[in-house]
Amino acid sequence: MLTLSHIRKDYGKFTAVEDINLELENGLYAMLAPNGAGKTTLIKMITTLLYPTSGEILYDGMDIYKMGETYRDVIGYLPQHFGYYKNNTPTQYLDYLAALKGISKEAAKEKIPELLELVGLSDVSNKKMKKFSGGMIQRVGIAQAMLNDPKILVLDEPTAGLDPKERVRFRNILSVLSKDRIVILSTHIVSDIESIANHVIMIKEKHLLKNDTVPNICKELEGKVFEKSINESEIQEFEQKRIILSMRQESEKMMVRYYSEEEDNNARPCTPNLEDVFLVTYREEK
């Protein structure tokens, strides 16, 4: 189990996150918040790249900063931007990283084809990466983070720049990997995690706002999300008392999905989804 206890991080006089308390067990945890909320800061602390200003992070009861190599053996990390040599093939690149991570040649020889199979890159294992799509590169990134078969896999905004098909593929891989390890993923893209996250962690105003399952988080908006058809000219006035979540043109009118504390007999109640929660939660933020 990974435990974050009263974590705070200051950058000089600026506090990025404060009093974060979390207990993580096997499964997929999605850290969902707009850019700048502190996701990368938290991830860097979990991967020991940054020290908290105060508070502690424990893995199975041990302070991760005191565990040294032992902790690095249980963690796999895919940073937001990771470096690779374009002229390398995935096999060469993984071989090189395996050596850096102190994995024996024999073990790497066995492990690398397995990982490339897992991420669906077996058929291009000896092709240079310079011709790879963004999704293929990210899959090489997952493979490198999995080289040491980590008990904690951390991915910072791994789906940025992927096309819809690549996103689905990525989601499926993560779903499999989170069965027997802690997977922590940061994102500001709701659709990437709605169907696969066991838990959603939301940060707002430097604090932990929510850490719950998708259904529980969505329940909070029950009875407050509606759909209604209105004239385009009415939108401005409509918006003053409600939060518009989405709109689409339907014949001459606009079908508006919105959040409101008050019921409206002429509107159709909707089942709230995670996107609704995200938009309502971060409505003041750009």
Ligand X SMILES: Nc1ncnc2c1ncn2[C@@H]1O[C@H](COP(=O)(O)OP(=O)(O)OP(=O)(O)O)[C@@H](O)[C@H]1O
- What are the residues binding ligand X (CB under 6 A)? 11, 14, 16, 33, 35-41, 157
Q: What are phi and psi of 182, to 5 degrees?
A: -85, 120
- Find where tokens 């390890």 sit: 181
Tell the smallest beta-carbon distance from residue 80 to ligand X (Å).
7
Our CB check for ligand X shows the closer of 16 and 78 to be 16
Our CB check for ligand X shows the closer of 36 and 161 to be 36
d(CA 133, CA 282): 32
Beta bridge partners of 56: 5
Our CB check for ligand X shows the closer of 14 and 106 to be 14
Our CB check for ligand X shows the closer of 125 and 186 to be 186
Tell the smallest beta-carbon distance from residue 211 to ligand X (Å).
16
Tell the smallest beta-carbon distance from residue 56 to ligand X (Å).
19
d(CA 111, CA 98): 9
Tell the smallest beta-carbon distance from residue 267 to ligand X (Å).
34
Cβ 82 vs Cβ 141: under 8 Å:
yes
d(CA 20, CA 26): 19
Our CB check for ligand X shows the closer of 95 and 157 to be 157
Residues 6+ apart with CB under 8 A from 263: 223, 226
Write out the two tokens for 2: 């990974």
Our CB check for ligand X shows the closer of 36 and 102 to be 36
Tell the smallest beta-carbon distance from residue 207 to ligand X (Å).
13
Sequence letter at residue 24: L
Cβ 253 vs Cβ 229: under 8 Å:
yes
d(CA 143, CA 236): 49
